Structure 1
Amino acid sequence: MRDGTTPAAPGGETFADLAAAGGARIERIASRAVRDGAWYEQGWDEFVLLVEGAATLAFADGSRRDLGPGDWCLLPAGCRHRVVATDPAAVTLWLAIHLPPVTPPAA
């Protein structure tokens, strides 16, 4: 388990796995003033809910999305994205649900 109970250091993030079942995983993420973080490109869908704070997500196509408390985003598998900003005055808390890859039915 990654420890998400420790506050994120300035410019960093901490992660904590909260639950996992059936190939899905629920994770708590604490971000603090992330600027142009690493690109993520996952092989599974991810649902993120911004619980507290504020954040801006950037996408490989150049678009951006600002999120506040209660806002959510579904990031499909293969969607290249990153966190480019969070609330500079406080920790931003996320709930992320990583969904298992969909296996096409056998022909």
Structure 2
Amino acid sequence: MTTPRFGRIGDGPSAPAGGEAFAELAASGGGRVVRSASRGQQDPAGQWYDQAEAEFVLLLAGAARLGFADGTERSLAPGDWAVIPAHCRHRVAWTDPAAETLWLAVHLPAT
């Protein structure tokens, strides 16, 4: 029998100014659940994530903007979520520099 694990999403590494901190909360069957904290972090223009797996992202606290290769951007506030398909080029265009932005990302197994 396995033992349940418990935690608080607010517990974990804090983001340094202009940076990010990650903590993997769970992984199984090729999927991962990751807690991310960022503060004033943005990916450089022209740098894209191009992941082999789809990703579900939920913004829990703070504010952020995601940018996409087609030139569009989408602002996120607490409670907003997105499903980013595999190989959809995207980047973090902006996160609030005045407050920590807290994300929950579920990386779905590649099919």
Give aligned-pair identity as a percent. 60
Q: Does 1:94 align with 2:103?
A: yes
1:72 to 81, 84, 94: 81
1:61 to 63, 70, 75: 70
Shift of 1:35: 2.9
Spell out, residue by residue over 1:19-65, the C-alpha distance to the aligned partner (whole angstroms, 9 max, x if none). 01121100000011013444211000000000000000000100000
The TM-score, its normalising length taken from structure 2, stands at 0.84
Contact 2:38 2:101 (8 Å CA) reproduced: yes
Q: Which residue of 2 aligns with 1:25?
A: 32
Q: Does 1:9 align with 2:16?
A: yes
Letter in 2 for 1:97: V
The TM-score, its normalising length taken from structure 1, stands at 0.87
Equivalents in 1 of 2:104, 2:43: separation in Å? 20
- How many residue pairs match? The answer is 99
Contact 2:61 2:102 (8 Å CA) reproduced: yes
CA-based RMSD: 1.3
Equivalents in 2 of 1:27, 1:55: separation in Å? 17
Q: Secondary structure at the match of 2:75?
A: strand
Unaligned runs of 5+ in 1: 103-107
Q: Does 1:49 align with 2:58?
A: yes
Equivalents in 2 of 1:82, 1:11: separation in Å? 15
Q: Which residue of 2 aligns with 1:85?
A: 94
